[in-house]
Copies of this chain bind each other. A is one copy, B any other.
């Protein structure tokens, strides 16, 4: 007896053959996909009839700062420096604590699940709380504790110790995959960057870092080190297939060569990069060089949502406009980037990112009968260019149903909203007091 069977579905497998199966079933046993077929479905404890609906792999958000959901819309339409130093940092300095991170992450998880994201890559502070939020809600999280020591000059060994303690605490979790999170070349000393690489090597975990997000960052780095951030990281022997480099907006030819040769994975965050006017990442060239690129939303403070359906469309359209070429980043490639290529970014392509027997059961069911999803001449096109995330009806992570009938069933959303409202009221008062100064 299977634990769960989804039947009568159209299945977008995202497997190597890009199979799209009509009128088929998926069976789940424990946390794994135990079978896929189009003949009679096996018996199961729970049967879900998906008549006319679409099942696809859960989406993978390869870069965000989840608890920043509590800062949605706190400051917008401002130059990056003013946004960061006059608005975001002062609030973070005062408010980041365990409560903020736990409830903020839960709010982000609610938003992600409801819009079809089943795995996210997170970098922030107080990460035991974020990891706990993942386990309590059932979502898959690749969680890194942001490491930085400029200008604070905090001891790299002490920071690395905190990351290692975090890794040791969570490495046996079935949902949380701990990672290291050296923030960037401009907020980490050389010693800290290298120290975090040692931790990453020792525990075989993702080295998640912001790279070349803005022109300013590159210019200042060139001034100080006479080379680009990528070249600098490469000369420190840090780059490898474990490196997940977020943004990569401003790369030169040599940078791309290094990224290609070292098999660095890139997290493309098109909406955040546009909203902060950082620029447009050279994704076409990266893909032509065989680089693996996933899609991230970045934090809500610079997006302002975590909706990967919306991000997929934006990811394609801004490149077409920028390159003046409508053939760039076609719909199917974009869906790959948000599923199987996202999994490759995390070295998890054997476990998640496609619907195949033996893989983890991370699945989403879309109601494609809505007027804005009809007709469906091309399923990939409709997912990327027509969907907005509100089609997501059922979300399954690690074999467990977390969202049913567009409602979260794995935790109490009302409690999350209540706790978040309390925190937000305090932030609002602090903002008002600050603006009166």
Task: Assess whether B388 is in contact with A324, with CB atoms less than 8 Å apart.
Answer: no
Specify which of B77, B320, B369 is in contact with A326 (CB 8 Å cutoff).
Answer: B77
4 nearest A-B residue pairs (beta carbon)? A390-B390, A274-B321, A77-B330, A73-B381
A188 at the binding interface (Cβ < 8 Å): no
Q: How far is the CB of A65 from chain B (nearest CB, A)?
A: 16
**A327 to chain B: which residues have CB within 8 Å?**
77-79
A349 at the binding interface (Cβ < 8 Å): no
How many subunits of this chain does the assembly comprise? 2
Among A63-111, those with CB < 8 Å from B are 70, 72-74, 76-80, 83, 107, 110-111
A246 at the binding interface (Cβ < 8 Å): no
Task: Assess whether B320 is in contact with A317, with CB atoms less than 8 Å apart.
Answer: no
A190 at the binding interface (Cβ < 8 Å): no
Q: How far is the CB of A52 from chain B (nearest CB, A)?
A: 11
Among A125-157, those with CB < 8 Å from B are none
Q: A321-B318, A324-B279 are in contact. Are A330 and B377 (CB under 8 A)?
A: no
A347 at the binding interface (Cβ < 8 Å): no
Residue in B closest to A309 when the chains form the complex, CB atoms? B388
Task: Assess whether B318 is in contact with A375, with CB atoms less than 8 Å apart.
Answer: no
A341 at the binding interface (Cβ < 8 Å): no
Jot down 15 A-B pairs with beta carbons below 8 A, ordered by A: A72-B386, A73-B375, A79-B326, A274-B321, A275-B317, A275-B326, A276-B326, A310-B313, A314-B317, A317-B318, A371-B413, A374-B421, A375-B427, A377-B428, A388-B388
**A27 to chain B: which residues have CB within 8 Å?**
none
Q: A277-B325, A303-B385, A417-B371 are in contact. Are A377 and B317 (CB under 8 A)?
A: no
Task: Assess whether A304 is in contact with B386, with CB atoms less than 8 Å apart.
Answer: yes
Q: A307-B372, A374-B420 are in contact. Are A277 and B77 (CB under 8 A)?
A: no
**A74 to chain B: which residues have CB within 8 Å?**
375, 377-378
Q: How far is the CB of A380 from chain B (nearest CB, A)?
A: 9
A394 at the binding interface (Cβ < 8 Å): no
Task: Assess whether B388 is in contact with A305, with CB atoms less than 8 Å apart.
Answer: yes
**A355 to chain B: which residues have CB within 8 Å?**
none
Task: Assess whether B372 is in contact with A277, with CB atoms less than 8 Å apart.
Answer: no
Specify which of B110, B280, B320 is in contact with A277 (CB 8 Å cutoff).
Answer: B320
